[in-house]
Chains A and B, each alone.
Chain A
Amino acid sequence: TFPGLPKWRKTHLTYRIVNYTLDLPREAVDSAFEKALKAWEEVTPLTFSKIYEGEADIMIFFAVREHGDFIPFDGPGNILGHAYAPGPGINGDAHFDDDEQWTKDTSGTNLFLVAAHEFGHSLGLYHSADPTALMYPVYNPRTDLTRFRLAQDDVNGVQSLYGPPPMSSPDGPAGPTESVPPEPGTPATCDPALSFDAVSSLRGEILFFKDRHFWRKSLRTPEPGFYLISSFWPSLPSGLDAAYEETSKDIVFTFKGNQFWAIRGTEVQAGYPKGIHTLGFPPSVTKIDAALFDKEKEKTYFFVEDKYWRFDEKTQSVEPDFPKKIADDFPGVDSKVDAAFEAFGFYYFFSGSSQLEFDPNAKKVTHVLKTNSWLNC
């Protein structure tokens, strides 16, 4: 953040594109700025609207050389733009050097990337020393802009000023007058009492969800990564109940309360959240405790209190004769299940700080482990 911690004292901000570069069609410029603001909007309570006349909080100019603020641009290369910390007048404004060749892709200077960086300043972020962060001062053209996301450092920075976005809830998003619930503390990886909210595979990695965070364990790298859920999927709620990956569809389904979301990679799929009752659960089921997908059988198991349902992914329906008692079909799994997933032909059940490895063919528990055994503890 800037010295003195300047920040906006309101959550709804206006922006105005005062002039346009001739390098790109106007709609491409509009789209780049809109997308750049959206990147910040997704991880904060801030919202932005465009105005066409008068003074906006963020006034956006393209300019060359000296352009009225005594900090001249320098021709092609080197300085690409600059922006001012939040405040009245010139503060909050973003200027782009029109001696650059602005492009939609990375063949020239990508306008979206530079705009997203400059708007970070407009919101109160200073430069970051983290080379992976958007707020690192040196331009870094990402090869795959479709998969762009803010780095954890960017999210931490902007959320230190404005907090996280309002949580989604069955009653709809929190309104501007509602208070944001207190943030749960950051869980310690090797806390012997650590429990998980949900566990799922994702494209060969394993995700362990806890409150606002998740650990990402790749079998190729020894150390798990630790991230905010909102930094990957800004519209997902924290404190998930259950999650599973339907590998043949490349979709991870996440559950909270009576709703569920479908995510593919970093994209939350359109049309979600949906109600869990659309899957065929009776009205008495108000939340799912855990879910796992068996790749071999192409069936998903949903665990709710001491019962479970089996869901046929091919017919998209709950199978008849369910629910059944968990303890009857998974001998040894006696307590309520917090989270579950399948790996290497075994089912892993998490309950508090304990984890059971279950062989579905032998129908018995083969190992009792600590919940955080996957995190090198």
Chain B
Amino acid sequence: YPVDRAAEDKDSNMDLLQQYLENYYDLAKDVKQFVRRRDSGPVVKKIREMQKFLGLEVTGKLDPDTLAMIRKPRCGVPDVGQFT
């Protein structure tokens, strides 16, 4: 069967976003299941928090600028939340 590349890319972007928010924006583990729901309150809040901190346009969505930013190399220390 042919691979649905668009759906695969979307999944991979969502995984990346989830990981990014968990690592750097203290996204709680129990929120994980909601990441793929675009209207999920906690996730939108975290995306907005990330966009604001990084100086991006605050859309609350995984737009191309946000995706490009989370793909850039960076420091591994979280941007917000308690530092362990």
B75: A residues at CB distance < 8 A: 79-82, 114, 117-118, 121, 127, 137, 139
Residues in B with CB closer than 8 Å to A131 are 54-55
B82:A138 contact, CB within 8 angstroms: no
Chain B 65-76, CB-CB to A under 8 Å as 1, else 0, gives 000010111111
Residues of A within 8 A of B1 (CB): none
Does B53 touch A at the CB level, under 8 Å? yes
In the bound complex, how far is the Cα of B84 from the Cα of A71, in angstroms? 10
**A6 — nearest CB in chain B belongs to which residue?**
B83
A139 touches B74 (CB 8 A): yes
Render A236-253 as a binary contact track against B, CB cut-off 8 A, 1 for contact. Answer: 000000000000000000
| Total count of chain B residues near the partner, CB < 8 A | 18
Assuming the contacts A3-B83, A85-B83, asked whether A73 and B76 have C-beta atoms less than 8 A apart, the reply is yes
Task: Tell me whether chain B's interface is mostly helix, strand or loop, or mixed.
Answer: loop
A255 on the B face (CB < 8 A): no
**Which residues of chain B come closer than 8 Å to A85, judged between CB atoms?**
83
CB within 8 Å of B: which of A75-101? 77-83, 85, 97, 100
Chain A contributes a number of interface residues (CB within 8 A of B) equal to 26
Q: How far is the CA of A363 from the CA of B79 in the complex (A)?
A: 60
A129 touches B (CB below 8 Å): yes
Known: A3-B83, A85-B83, A137-B24. A127 touches B77 (CB 8 A): yes
Judge whether A79 and B83 touch: CB under 8 Å: no
Q: Is the CB of B55 within 8 A of A2?
A: no
Beta-carbon contact of A138 and B77 below 8 Å: no
Given A129-B53, A131-B55, are A83 and B77 neighbors across the interface (CB < 8 Å)? yes
In the complex, whether A126 has a CB less than 8 A from a CB of chain B is: yes
* Cβ contact within 8 Å between A80 and B73: yes
Write out the residue numbers on chain B whose beta carbons fall within 8 Å of the beta carbon of A121: 75, 77
User: In chain B, what residue has the closest Cβ to A121?
Assistant: B77
Inter-chain contact B76/A127, CB cutoff 8 Å:
no
Residue in chain B with minimal CB distance to A125? B77
CA distance A83 to B76 in the complex (A): 8
Give the most central of B52, B78, B79, B84: most A CB within 10 Å.
Answer: B79
CB-defined A-B contacts under 8 Å, sample of 18? A71-B76, A73-B76, A77-B73, A78-B71, A78-B73, A78-B74, A79-B76, A82-B76, A100-B73, A114-B75, A118-B75, A126-B83, A137-B24, A137-B77, A138-B54, A138-B69, A138-B73, A139-B73
